[in-house]
Chain A
């Protein structure tokens, strides 16, 4: 079947609209198992799939693009703000659809991540986004993954309509307090973000409870993103918001984006927030979601996370009376709290020890990393860690080696997390 392609995006437009979209951290294509339809193209893979990796080490899973970067707003931190001197471009629903289809069938991508600057009014912008995704589903019969950004202040009916067609939606909170929003993004308000997120959450619950099969709202749920270090909020404040979003709004992911000063402004810091802070937030986020930690155990409301150690180490050092734990008898919840032991390692230990008591040699052969863990465990009663204050010193050296040597931190330096990153689960 060879037919002319009329709606072809040109390379310059693609470049402008991608460069404007790239600071959105989310790239995940997981969480949905949408099936293909007769005569259609595409499906969604529940674990997500990465199709390429860029030189910054990030995965390309979706075609991440803006409908337009011509913005009516002037948010201080944003490279696309009205007063910024950048090249402007816009595209059409058909051009987006055509590009998505053609990238998808060559297996370049898993689907589309569509967003836009607010041109004209929020409603007009959102209407065009919704028109595009409906066209992609119905006219182009595309059943791959779609992530749609919500436009604040647009009519919530539009978001609820879009939710029936796309896999995931996100409203980016960007700044972690109302006060900072007022200062740096006056057109965004807490309500313009939280209210649509709550409505979408209600729709997700409704569809789940009524076992809706066709046109289920957002099978891959909602995510959001916060910029860290552009405003003065503490890690403790940010993580409490995070915990609320996970536990009460069922968000699938909260992304953190370490602030980079691309714009000079008296309202913004001149120095970058640094990747270590972002890294520590992600580690704490993981502990809250998968390791049974409450935010109160990790960080006081007005405190920042400790930079010297990862948050689990920091917690363990404060709770040395709970350690060492015996590998062969400790309950799973406690194994998960041992620094250096990840969820997969903890699972392996609980399975393996049913057949024979494990010693350090067994653990090493099972590829369980003992560098940090050895200070907190015993195997068959034996202890090979350091005593007293020497633990702190040993961990500090280890952590320095992990975070210093490389010019940059790998977010996913643990084996477990590296695997999830690879599968696109993140």
Chain B
């Protein structure tokens, strides 16, 4: 068995697909601590944008939505995402765009579940993102999504916030979408020093008051609440202070 280890970039992955395509027993991963079998051969993939481009072009020809699918898969935190994407690509090259309707095929089911988790989180974060107003009037939202979605979510907030300056900060991946009120771009951001507006606490407190007041005590259903709003997302919610703390 040959294991192709990539640098974790999209170009790296597509290069690995190029190199591994003809092998019968190849695995692609970006995880260096992959469990090794005694007969395993490790190949460190040298990222080559030319090779990557050729694979993308071939894939585009087979199904014009496939590179978009793969882009979503590679954003996932699933440790087997590269292998799942590789199997999916092989299937599409073989069968063309009909593949996306083969809903009982295990590879297709696997891919759609990974994509579902990425787009699902993207949707949830449109709701659970919380901005704070800084003393300069800019809006700052730290968060820590499971998947790498910051550049996908930025356009949603750009459209809403209009001329407001804002930053959406993925504190886990140390990167942020920054918007000056006109255009936005991605940047590497480690720690951010944030000075809050004098009104920030007032509105945060009003929000907490609202959160408590709108609840119907006669109909408690904490299990459902946690199902819809998983505990791991609470960290950045101002209302977390009044949520149950037993976890």
A contacts, CB < 8 Å to B: 1-2, 5, 8-9, 11, 14-15, 18-19, 21-23, 35-36, 38-43, 45, 47, 49-61, 63-64, 99, 102-103, 105-108, 110, 144, 260, 275, 348, 351-356, 358, 362, 365-366, 406-408, 410, 418, 421-424
Contacts and interface: CB of A to CB of B under 8 A. Distances in A.
Nearest to A61: B127
Nearest to B137: A1
A107 B213 contact: no
B68 interface: no
B23 to A, nearest CB: 27
Contacts of B126: 45, 49
B241 interface: no
A52 B237 contact: yes
Which of A9, A11, A21 is the most central at the interface, judged by chain B CB atoms within 10 Å of its CB? A11
Interface string B192-216: 0000010100110111011111111
Nearest to B224: A57
A370 to B, nearest CB: 14
B220 to A, nearest CB: 6
A418 B223 CA distance: 13
A211 to B, nearest CB: 24
A106 B207 contact: yes
B139 A106 contact: yes
Given A14-B206, A99-B206, A107-B130, A52 B219 contact: no
Nearest to A110: B127
B225 A106 contact: no
Contacts of A356: 104
Given A56-B220, A57-B222, A57-B225, A105 B159 contact: no
Contacts of A51: 127-128
Nearest to B103: A352
A105 B206 contact: no
A15 B209 contact: yes
Given A23-B216, A54-B214, A348 B103 contact: yes
Contacts of A353: 104
A-B pairs with the 10 shortest C-beta distances? A57-B224, A57-B221, A352-B103, A18-B213, A352-B104, A54-B215, A53-B229, A362-B104, A53-B225, A51-B127
B221 A351 contact: no
Given A9-B206, A57-B222, A105-B139, A354 B127 contact: no
B64 to A, nearest CB: 19
17 contacts: A2-B135, A11-B205, A19-B214, A43-B159, A45-B126, A49-B126, A52-B127, A53-B225, A53-B229, A57-B219, A57-B221, A105-B139, A108-B130, A353-B104, A362-B104, A408-B220, A410-B224
Which of B102, B139, B159, B160 is the most central at the interface, judged by chain A CB atoms within 10 Å of its CB? B160
A275 to B, nearest CB: 7
A407 B124 CA distance: 27
In this complex, the interface size class of chain B, counting residues with CB under 8 Å from chain A, is: 35 or more
Contacts of A35: 159
B55 interface: no
A45 B223 CA distance: 27
Interface stretch (B28-36, B77-85, B161-169, B172-180): B161-169
Contact of A18 (B120, B159, B214, B221): B214
Interface of B: 98, 101-106, 109, 120, 123-124, 126-133, 135-137, 139, 141, 157, 159-164, 197, 199, 202-203, 205-207, 209-225, 227-229, 237-239, 243-244
B81 to A, nearest CB: 19
Given A54-B225, A55-B221, 9 more contacts: A42-B160, A53-B224, A55-B243, A57-B219, A57-B223, A107-B129, A108-B130, A355-B98, A355-B104
B216 A22 contact: yes
A101 to B, nearest CB: 10
A106 B131 contact: yes
B160 A22 contact: no
Which of A42, A107, A260 is the most central at the interface, judged by chain B CB atoms within 10 Å of its CB? A107
Which of B106, B129, B207, B210 is the most central at the interface, judged by chain A CB atoms within 10 Å of its CB? B210
Nearest to B244: A55
A60 to B, nearest CB: 6
B213 A106 contact: no
Nearest to A29: B127
A15 B101 contact: no
Which of A2, A50, A54 is the most central at the interface, judged by chain B CB atoms within 10 Å of its CB? A54
B222 A103 contact: no
A56 B141 contact: no
Contacts of B136: 2
Contacts of A418: 227
B103 A22 contact: no
Nearest to B202: A8
Contacts of B157: 107
Nearest to A423: B123
A265 to B, nearest CB: 17
A110 B128 CA distance: 11
Nearest to B132: A106
A5 B133 CA distance: 14
A106 B133 contact: yes
A113 to B, nearest CB: 10
Nearest to B165: A1
A157 to B, nearest CB: 32
Nearest to A410: B224
Given A5-B199, A14-B206, A99-B206, A56 B215 contact: yes
A49 B243 CA distance: 20
Contacts of B127: 49-52, 61, 107, 110, 424
A39 B227 CA distance: 37
A15 B213 contact: yes
Given A2-B197, A63-B210, A351-B101, A406 B223 contact: yes
